[in-house]
Amino acid sequence: MNTTQLLALDAWQLSTLLTRRELKAEALVRACLERITEREGAVHAFTALDPDAVLATARALDAGPVRGLLHGLPIGVKDLFDTADLATTYGSSIYAGYRPRADASPVALCRQAGALVLGKTVSTEFAYFTPGPTRNPHNTAHTPGGSSSGSAAAVADRMLPLALGTQTAGSIIRPAAYCGVVGFKPSLGRVASGGVKSLSPTMDIVGGFGRSVRDVSLLGAVLTCDARLSGWRDLSTSDSPRIGFFQTPAWPQADADVQRAWAQATRILSVQAKDCQDVTTPFNFGDLIQLQKDVMTFEMARALSHEHIHHRARLSAPLNSLLDDGMAMTGEQHAANLSTVAQWRQRIDALFECHDVLLTPSTTGIAPEGTATGDPLFCRSWSILGLPSVHLPFTTGHKGLPVGLQLVGRFGQDHHLLAAAQWVQERLQG
């Protein structure tokens, strides 16, 4: 099997070959490094690489027993995660050359399951809006999205099969949509986040990217330590989920590409799913967008207080403005907002009495031209609610750039969401 054929395989297919010892981890790493050498000059997905070290680790894996679900799979790690063997900068010059003493918890879990950390991937500045150098691999004149820009772009460009990311507003789903890969954001609190730079404890979620639902289910099972997330193998093709079609109050801001994707998906699923219904928008659901912004602004100002106080001149103007606004907010305001969040989380659960999953837009359109990372409008509500979501790419818009939609699941029912996403992906891509 040549390099092109090898890199065309999804992570779950590679995993099967690796665990059967029909493929060596070293051979896969060499193929990924060859692709990186070829494409990194255009895509700029990485902040740190150590080829010799990862090749040595791959040889050790090949000589030993199968380690776990991710045995021999190269992964990218967003530069928001601490890594003991690679520099961690959080997307900021403040931390240039910083070497943590330990891996972040999700990185440690992935290594324990046999993953090979191939490199650190670009993050925007402290996972906010100021972009890094990464470009969209489908068209380098366009953004890959943010803040998990390098992870999404590297997976999309087949530099590696899996990558870690984080989401506070839309930082997994949006770059997954712009780059045309599958992005998985678990339920809030399902993944340990020690050693991941905190922005907003109310919303920060660790997840990741692959090229299929089966890929992210493997990664999700390791991150959550819940084997049910990799149970896609047991999903019956006749066991269709109940799907709620939920455009949300932000629908008027979806462009023609998203509207065409919506029409295509709802037409296919209405015929093949046992139960599809339009969702009636809960009263004041649109208020969640501003609520998400307010909670994030307050919590980011506290989480980045050291950087804001001692390194203000090295922060971008947009980030300084956000942190100034957050410091002006009172604890009383924040407590009231958190109370409202709790009420909404309880209230929204009623939607899942009638629907197993909700189909909803991921973005307002294709990846914008330029470096601005795009609008997380269609992700903010699900982030503040802490619900699991999966972006599914299945078509293209103008300029040939990817378009897809996201599925949102019930809180804590991540395995059911992934099973439904596998069912939907097969039909939309079939």
- The CATH code of the domain that includes 62 is 3.90.1300.10
pLDDT at 236: 47
pLDDT at 234: 53
- Domain containing 147: what range? 3-234
Question: What torsion, rounded to 10 degrees, do the Cα atoms 379, 383, 385, 388 define?
Answer: 90
Of residues 205, 379, 206, 199, the one with CA closest to residue 299: 199
**CB of 365 within 8 A of CB of 257?**
yes
Catalytic residue among 15, 78, 123, 148: 78
Q: From the first residue on, what is the mean pLDDT of each consecutive set of 10 residues in the chain (430 residues)?
A: 94 97 98 98 98 98 97 98 98 98 98 98 98 98 98 98 98 98 98 98 98 97 95 60 97 98 98 94 96 98 98 98 98 98 96 96 98 98 98 97 98 96 93
Does residue 284 belong to any structural domain of this protein?
A: no
Is residue 212 flagged as an active site residue? no
Distance, in Å, from the CA atom of 290 to the CA atom of 428, rounded to the nearest integer, reads 32
Distance, in Å, from the CA atom of 227 to the CA atom of 223, rounded to the nearest integer, reads 10
Q: How far is CA 13 from the centre of its chain?
A: 21
Is residue 293 flagged as an active site residue? no
Does residue 219 belong to any structural domain of this protein?
A: yes
Does residue 256 belong to any structural domain of this protein?
A: no
Please enumerate, as own/partner, the contacts of 268-275 that have beta carbons within 8 Å and a separation of 24 or more.
268/427, 268/428, 269/243, 269/359, 269/424, 269/427, 269/428, 272/240, 272/427, 273/240, 273/241, 273/242, 273/243, 274/240, 274/242, 275/240, 275/242, 275/243
pLDDT at 415: 96
Distance, in Å, from the CA atom of 207 to the CA atom of 166, rounded to the nearest integer, reads 6
Does residue 243 belong to any structural domain of this protein?
A: no
Burial class, 66, CB count within 10 angstroms (exposed 0-12 / middle 13-18 / buried 19+): middle
| Other CB atoms within 10 Å distance of the CB of residue 307 | 19
Distance, in Å, from the CA atom of 279 to the CA atom of 311, rounded to the nearest integer, reads 47
Q: How far is CA 241 from the centre of its chain?
A: 23
Catalytic residue among 123, 148, 151, 171: 171
pLDDT at 189: 97
Catalytic residue among 15, 123, 147, 240: 147
Does residue 111 belong to any structural domain of this protein?
A: yes
Provide the residue count of the chain.
Answer: 430
Residue written as token pair 């922060």: 315
Does residue 254 belong to any structural domain of this protein?
A: no
Distance, in Å, from the CA atom of 159 to the CA atom of 154, rounded to the nearest integer, reads 5
Is residue 92 flagged as an active site residue? no
Does residue 357 belong to any structural domain of this protein?
A: no
**CB of 194 within 8 A of CB of 152?**
no
pLDDT at 249: 97
Does residue 123 belong to any structural domain of this protein?
A: yes
Structural domain total, the chain: 1
As beta bridge partners, residue 185 has: 389
